[in-house]
Amino acid sequence: MTPFGEKVRELRKKRGITMKEMAKDLEVSSAYLSALEHGKRGKPGPGFVMQVAGYFNLIWDDAEELKELAGLSHPRIVVDTVDRSAKATLLANLLSRRINRLDEETIQDLITRIEETIPG
């Protein structure tokens, strides 16, 4: 699941909307919406993100959060460590190889540490 997919699911459930209803209303297939929620599709385009924000009547900060989450939701990323140190390349490779073995608590700890160390 991606951060965008998790948020969309949360908004749908909070409002009691089924995936099928939302897909019909947005004129997309249920399969596409399901794939987005489960991280089986790449990050959504900005037009679709704004369509979803409008669908849920999100304004200001909530719409910005949705856009931010969409930008962070590509399930297959490339980390470019060209012109970085050997340690940066090592870190990227270790994370790539071992991320599936990390539990949620460890993942959250790493996210928090990175966000506190490198804001923005």
Write out pLDDT tens, residues 27-68.
999 999 999 988 888 889 999 999 999 999 999 999 999 999
Quote the DSSP letter at residue 84: S
- Asked whether the predicted pLDDT for residue 82 surpasses 90, the reply is yes
Using DSSP, state whether 10 is helix, strand or coil: helix
How far apart are alpha carbons 102 and 112 in whole angstroms? 15
What is the fold of 3-71? Answer: 434 Repressor (Amino-terminal Domain) (1.10.260)
Place of tokens 């991606």: 2
Q: How far apart are CA 114 and CA 91, in angstroms?
A: 13
Distances (CA, A) of 94 to 49, 76, 105: 32, 16, 18
Q: HSE on the CB side for 25, CA within 13 Å?
A: 12
Domain ranges of the chain: 3-71, 86-117
Rounded Cα distance, 42 and 45, in Å: 9
**Any idea which residue has 């970085």 for tokens?**
84
Could you tell me how far CA 46 lies from the centroid of its own chain?
Answer: 13
pLDDT value, residue 42: 81
Q: What is the reported pTM?
A: 0.76
Indicate if the pLDDT at residue 120 is higher than 80.
no
